[in-house]
Amino acid sequence: MLLQIDLESETPIYTQLVQCVIEGIAMKELRPGEALPSVRSLAEDLGINLHTVNKAYQLLKQEGYVLINRKQGAVIQPGAFPPADDSYKLRLRSQLRPLVADAICRGMTMEQFAEESRMMFAELLAKEEEEKHE
């Protein structure tokens, strides 16, 4: 998987890395048990500080997306991800809140926001279905 970051974005680089990995998992581009690049090599490849990569990997570990050990480095969680429980839903709501507020400020209706969300969800699920049929 090619991790792409935008150095000009207002989104912090470590956040972009976390989002890329999570999307890669959702799109089945990153498989359970697959090793991510080492902190050092990814930092060099992207031209960023290794502490930035380390921060992203630590956040992914906290969220249960990766396991980290000294021998293998960062590895995509080989088991099932925890289900969307109440704590996950609270975190999701806190992350969605600023996006919804921004959409409201920009004149989007609830229906338009919901449609954008549905399209994104469908796009990610379509990739998963493609993989099943290959």
Domain ranges (residues) in the chain: 13-76, 86-133
pLDDT value for 128 = 67
**Main-chain dihedrals φ then ψ at residue 127, nearest 5 degrees:** -60, -40
Q: Given this structure, which CATH class describes domain 13-76? A: mainly alpha
Instruction: Give the predicted TM-score (pTM) of the model.
Output: 0.80
Per residue of the chain (134 residues), give pLDDT as tens: 568 899 999 999 999 999 999 999 988 889 999 999 999 999 999 999 999 999 999 999 998 899 998 888 999 999 877 788 898 899 899 999 999 999 999 999 999 999 999 999 998 888 766 666 66
* Distance (Å, whole) CA 92 – CA 62: 15
